[in-house]
Structure 1
């Protein structure tokens, strides 16, 4: 069923994406647990290294989409891989170590508008959650200047609203692709960030 004129039904695409990714989102939050662990400089350095490995290939793919789609979101303003490198430099990581950073293999790379919107949903949302990690990191002694990639460039709230508005305009024919891309991007985050997960028992 749809809401008419190709628009997804009750709740829309945004609600469907949230529902489809909720379980993975909860597991990620519980595994990272920034409020319940000591988020020290060593943990933060590992976090930055791993998140760069996710962001770099995703952002290249998003840039390729944006270059071909005149209605694309502003992916340059959303870029954070470069900020992660800058954060690592603040922590004293040298050029040789930066050159050894690994990208996440098998990252789901968006090539269509629908897939790109699903990816942006995850990446933009992570900057909102990044505020929690920033607070925990700074409280544990991590320099604030090494946390810029967690929340991104100024205007995060505006970018999030632009993403949700774009999702609200997605038609039924593209809804499943948006959801699938968001699910796959969340799954890549969960798999790649698992070395940082808090282990119970």
Structure 2
């Protein structure tokens, strides 16, 4: 179980450290996302969601295994989004059988404990903020095209901001002792790297 020791006031808090230490990994992952491309096709959008499905199908259970019972303040179950991806993919022509046959993540990141799982959740929750920009673009780009309601990028709807704020507050309450902070950062870095690797496969397909 993670400790509850906060970092000293003189040190950056965990959220600040995560933002700084993951910036290059975040930028590399963003650089291979093609959803904002002017020529995005329906099949390209579907392929991106299929990639996200593989990532969330692995990462969400890993996070729940390490954090759901021990840290209820993180509201892990409320933050699951795999069902939203399934909704979008069903709207794009998949059925339950084809969803079950989607490939799993080829190179999943290691999530050996609670600190790494906190890093994973930081990445998954942070993506809901950038997802609002993507949502607005997709709604304009596919206006008049039957592609569903963009459930995944809509995420928590009007509660995206409050959900991120509550996550940050909960993360600091569940903050591991300073000696464990590098493991949280490593978990986030590995998650960004997994997103980058999976999105590169989509962009080359």
Q: TM-score range by the shorter chain?
A: 0.7 to 0.9
**1:145 match:** 148
Aligned match of 2:80: 79
Once the two structures are TM-superposed, the CA of residue 9 in structure 1 deviates from its matched residue by: 4.7
> Aligned partners of 2:9 and 2:147: how far apart in 1?
42
User: Which runs of 5 or more structure 2 residues have no equivalent in the other structure?
Assistant: none
Question: Contact conserved, 1:61 with 1:109, CA < 8 A, in 2?
Answer: no
Report how far residue 35 of structure 1 moved: 3.2
Deviations 1:115-161 (A, max 9, x none): 22211110001111112222222222155734111242343222211
* Residue matched to 1:25: 26
Corresponding residue pairs, total? 196
Question: Is residue 2:202 matched to residue 1:196?
Answer: yes
Task: State the SS of the aligned residue for 1:194.
Answer: helix
Give me the whole-angstrom Cα distance separating, in 2, the residues matched to 1:181 and 1:8: 24
Residue 54 of structure 1: CA displacement?
Answer: 0.1
Q: Are 2:164 and 1:163 equivalent residues in the alignment?
A: no
Contact 1:131/1:151 (<8 A) preserved: yes
Equivalent residue, structure 2, for 1:7: 8
Match of 1:173 in 2: 179
Task: Give the one of 182, 188, 200 matched to 1:182.
Answer: 188
Q: Deviations over 1:58-77 (max 9, x none)?
A: 11112222343144511111
Length-normalised TM-score, structure 2:
0.83
Q: Which runs of 4+ in 1 moved over 4 A?
A: none
CA contact (8 A) 1:124 1:160 kept: yes
- Structure 1 runs not aligned, ≥5 long: none
8 Å CA contact retained: 2:51, 2:202: no
The C-alpha deviation readout for 1:158-200, integer Å capped at 9, x for no partner, is 22112222343443122111101000111100001113348xx
Aligned to 2:48: 47
- How far the C-alpha of 1:108 sits from its partner, in A, is 2.4
1:99 matched to 2:103? The reply is no
Q: How big is the alpha-carbon RMSD for the aligned residues of Structure 1 and Structure 2? A: 2.5
Give TM-score, length-normalised by structure 1. Answer: 0.84
> What is the CA distance between 1:10 and its match in structure 2?
3.2
Task: Pick which of 67-76 and 117-126 moved more.
Answer: 67-76
Structure 1 contact 119–185 (Cα < 8 Å) conserved: yes
Deviation of residue 90 (structure 1)?
A: 0.9
